[in-house]
């Protein structure tokens, strides 16, 4: 990931970002447009402070810096990128973009996130999806995590006696497909190997990337 190498420099201003256009997959004009969009989307700490979201029993991080907050992020994913996944996944996506857990997405994280989102390599997209699905960040997707993710994705049938049974079966099936080394949990290596075999499994636990069509149409809005 070439763009990551540049970031220890601590880039925080728009002019600095544009000077570094060589480090991204974006053209200079696109970067300028992304910076402009960023400026329109940012809020300050407290500006949007609503009731605290509780995700997987953990309260979400409060916004401590100026940046794109989770409410704006969710709207952006829904309206601009047509990503209509449910809230747990959107929250995971937000946490992956907000790398320093500051409760808001800084300029550099915004550009980095979009770099993967819109022009990322297959490997970068794999890493992104894996981080989202690894709910407790321990480096493995477990059957419990699959269960939670799939349970949220699937529509409940009220007539079923045990609605969780189908989800358990599906998690079992997913584990069998993805756990290449058969140690009972899915490491990044397992996931990478399985997706090379079967690319459609990349977003097996819910959509977290825009479609090709959405990427093209978003990128076309950045042209001068």
Q: Is 190 in the site for Ca ion (CB under 5 A)?
A: yes
Q: Pick from 138, 144, 169, 198 the residue near Ca ion by CB under 5 A.
A: 138
Q: Is 164 in the site for Ca ion (CB under 5 A)?
A: no
Q: Is residue 191 a contact partner of residue 130, using CB atoms and an 8 Å limit?
A: yes
Residues 181/186/190/191 CA torsion (nearest 10 deg): 160
- Report the residue number, 94 or 140, with the smaller CB distance to Ca ion: 140
CB of 167 to Ca ion, least distance (A): 17
- Report the residue number, 138 or 164, with the smaller CB distance to Ca ion: 138
Q: Pick from 30, 116, 179, 222 the residue near Ca ion by CB under 5 A.
A: 179
For the chain, helix, strand, coil in percent to 5 are 60, 5, 35
Q: Is 134 in the site for Ca ion (CB under 5 A)?
A: yes
Q: Is 144 in the site for Ca ion (CB under 5 A)?
A: no
Please give the Cα distance from 220 to 132 (Å, whole number). 27
Q: Is 108 in the site for Ca ion (CB under 5 A)?
A: no
Q: Is 181 in the site for Ca ion (CB under 5 A)?
A: yes
Please give the Cα distance from 111 to 34 (Å, whole number). 7
Q: Is 127 in the site for Ca ion (CB under 5 A)?
A: no
Q: Pick from 136, 193, 211, 221 the residue near Ca ion by CB under 5 A.
A: 136
Q: Which stretch binds Ca ion (CB under 5 A): 9-17, 59-67, 106-114, 190-198?
A: 190-198
- Report the residue number, 69 or 179, with the smaller CB distance to Ca ion: 179
CB of 177 to Ca ion, least distance (A): 12
Please give the Cα distance from 63 to 105 (Å, whole number). 9
In degrees rounded to 5, what are phi and psi of residue 67?
A: 175, -165
Please give the Cα distance from 36 to 45 (Å, whole number). 20
Closest CA to 49 of 71, 66, 29, 24: 71
Residues contributing to the site for Ca ion (CB under 5 A): 134, 136, 138, 140, 179, 181, 183, 187, 190
């Amino acid at each position: 990931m070439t763009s990551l190498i540049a970031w220890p420099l601590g880039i925080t201003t728009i002019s600095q970002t544009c000077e570094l256009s060589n480090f991204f997959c974006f053209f200079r004009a696109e970067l300028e447009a992304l910076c402009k969009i960023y400026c329109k989307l940012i809020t300050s700490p407290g500006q949007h402070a609503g009731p605290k979201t509780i995700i997987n029993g953990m309260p979400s991080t409060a916004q401590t810096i100026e940046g794109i907050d989770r409410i704006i992020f969710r709207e952006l994913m829904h309206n601009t990128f047509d990503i209509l996944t449910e809230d747990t996944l959107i929250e995971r996506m937000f946490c992956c973009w907000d790398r320093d857990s500051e409760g808001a997405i800084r300029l550099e994280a915004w550009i980095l996130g979009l770099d993967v989102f819109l022009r990322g390599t297959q490997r970068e997209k794999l890493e992104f999806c894996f981080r989202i699905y690894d709910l407790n960040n321990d480096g493995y997707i477990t059957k419990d995590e699959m269960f939670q993710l799939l349970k949220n994705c699937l529509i409940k049938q009220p007539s079923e006696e045990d609605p969780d049974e189908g989800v358990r079966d599906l998690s079992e099936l997913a584990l069998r497909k993805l756990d290449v080394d058969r140690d009972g949990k899915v490491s990044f290596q397992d996931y990478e190997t399985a997706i090379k075999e079967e690319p459609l499994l990349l977003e097996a636990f819910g959509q977290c990337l825009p479609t090709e069509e959405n990427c093209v149409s978003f990128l076309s809005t950045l042209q001068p």
